[in-house]
Structure 1
Amino acid sequence: MIAHRPPTISAWRPAVPGIAEVFHAHFTDHAYPAHTHDTWDLMILDDGAVDFGLDRRRHAAADLSAVLLLPPGVRHDGRTVTAAGFRKRVLYLDTTVLPERLAGRAVDAPILADPLLRHRIHRLHTAVGHPGEALEAESRLFLVAERLRFHLQAFRRRAPGREAHRLAIGLRELLDARVRAGLPLREAAALLHSHPTHLIRCFTQAYGLPPHAYLTGKRIELARRLLLSGQRPADVATSVGFHDQAHLNRHFTRHVGTTPARYARGITSRMSDHGVIIPDIGQRSSSV
């Protein structure tokens, strides 16, 4: 007889409009009773297989490249299939992301064989797992929602048109004015009279990177200026818009190739060796 193993669970509510809960779990012998949610249940499997019933029909899911979408208000259950159980990551999305009227198609086909969608959901989970990545998480949520609407036959993607350059410049100006405070994508879209997903595509087409990556780069640039002026990394982190020093460290190392503390120590060492003040970053070689 196999001994009972308690589940491993992590759950939280991120500061991302539309996501009611994030839920990560490893179950070995759990069986969900029949129940309903007020939210959409968007699930990906990282290991194992699951058997579930949805509206009187049973389904088996074991494809790790697929996505499970269970609609709000519809009875469902779930249980493990093997002794090893399954690992899953779930996003509970409220009906501002997907309207409840689209539930019928999800009842008919709750398993979506779509590796691109699965990858986008994985990237969204990564973003919501890091405090301070609100703009990235919000952007990724809109791209996930667009793909889900494609499957639910309710949305047709609109390619950037002649207005793309104007929208991209408008969003860049808004981001430049709010480097420290940040800018919710919904607010930017309302100010520019555009849909958030369309705005992301226009910006990316014009500048070669998505809005959240552009904002992170601007914050790193500002952080370098402040470090050059002698400010402590811990103070710099929050003053330029990062959640904390660990958040700054992660992005700074990826952009600059070293941590803010080592970068600052290099500045101090050079100043003591040469008795000079390092010029502003804008005057330095682009190879720095």
Structure 2
Amino acid sequence: MVARPDLTAWRPAVAGVAEVLHAHFTDHVYPMHAHDTWTLLIVDDGMVRYDLDRHEHGALSDLVTLLPPHVPHNGCPVTPHGFRKRVLYLDADVLGVEHIGRAVDGPALADPLLRRRIHQLHTVLAEPGEDLEAESRLALICERILGHLGHPSRLVPPSPPRPDRVGLAHRLRDLLDEHVPEGLSLQEAATLLHAHPAHLVRAFSREFGIAPHQYLTACRVDRARRLLLEGRAAPEVAASTGFCDQSHLARNFKRIVGVGPGWYARTVRGAGSGPPGMRT
């Protein structure tokens, strides 16, 4: 009996990511085919054997596999129980078609940090409303991949000196403060500040000890707390503070505050009443 494949695919609202695919196949054999995107693949279980440019390769669980656009490849399971994989299909210009030849020569990347970052990005992409975090993680992933594909000093501009980095971090914080409810994409911030997206993330994190997406989420939770103290309903609070829905608000609110917004709202008392035992 042929096992039924387990597959989930979606297109996130993150610039540069054309598709996300999570799949478990036991006996499916991919024929020779090509994509117009970069295929960034990690295998969670099993092993995939594939041919790329007439050379045999293997996608293993401890490697990152990068297949370039427009180059035909195939694929089949090696073990009887098949393979479980997670794939990011990235727009061709995210890494640049000029690097196709280097990727053909070396599609397997032995880089534990890169693999961990890709796993983290998949985790973020599975949660709606975390677009800035996903963009930030993708920028760092692409920067590291470009380092594998060539000379980092030429592909990615060097980090700015400390005084410039500090100023860049503070300018990004000001931008985030100005766009709390509606949010700001990393690419928009990079364009406004004339900086590389990965440098923005790194400069901000080094200066403030917190990533840009964490800072923005904390600002939104702060605003949500104030609105809940005014007696606003949670769905209204979620909509007016930049969360995509009430569940998104609840998840982040509890992580930061320690209780959910519903619980928090039930503790609200009249203005000036003080905590229990202090009212006169």
TM-score, with length taken from structure 2: 0.93
1:276 Cα offset (Å): 4.6
Contact 1:54 1:74 survives alignment (8 Å): yes
| 1:78 corresponds to 2:79 | no
1:240-265 per-position Cα deviation (integer Å, ceiling 9, x unaligned): 00011111111111101111101111
1:198 aligns with 2:196: no
Q: CA RMSD in A?
A: 1.4
Matching residue of 1:37: 35
Give the match for residue 159 of structure 2: 159
Q: Distance in 2 between matches of 1:276 and 1:174?
A: 34
Q: CA deviation at 1:235?
A: 1.2
Deviations 1:96-134 (A, max 9, x none): 211011011111111111110001111111111111111
Taking structure 1 as the reference length, the TM-score comes to 0.91
After TM superposition, the runs of 4+ consecutive aligned structure 1 residues lying more than 3 A away are 275-279
Matches within 5 A, 1:93-108: 93-108=90-105
For 2:244 and 2:146, the matched residues in 1 are separated by 32
Letter in 2 for 1:10: T
1:285 aligned residue? none
- Structure 1 residue 278, shift from structure 2 partner: 5.7
Counterpart Cα distance in 1 of 2:224 and 2:169: 24
Write the letter of the residue equivalent to 2:240. S
- Which runs of 5 or more residues in structure 1 are unaligned? 280-288
Per-residue CA distance 1:129-177 (angstroms, 9 max, x = gap): 1111111111111101001001001433623413111111111111001
AA matched with 1:159? S
Measured after TM superposition, the shift of residue 61 of structure 1 is 2.4
Tell me how far apart the structure 2 counterparts of residues 91 and 229 of structure 1 sit (CA, whole Å): 43
Q: Aligned in 2, Cα 1:239/1:34: closer, same or farther, shift over 3 Å? A: same
The equivalent of 1:207 in structure 2 is 208
Matching of residue 253 in structure 1 with residue 254 in structure 2: yes
**Count, aligned residues:** 271
Contact 1:228 1:278 in 2 (8 A): no
Name the structure 1 match of 2:232: 231
Deviations 1:74-117 (A, max 9, x none): 11000011121111000000122110110111111111111100
Residue 152 of structure 2 aligns to a residue in which SS? Answer: coil
| Aligned equivalent of 2:278 | none
Q: Which runs of 5+ in 2 are unaligned?
A: 276-280
* Cα 1:278/1:125, change in 2 over 3 Å: farther
Equivalent AA in structure 2 for residue 168 of structure 1: A
Counterparts of 1:1-288 in structure 2, within 5 Å, are: 3-62=1-60, 64-156=61-153, 158-161=158-161, 162-267=163-268, 270-271=269-270, 276-277=272-273
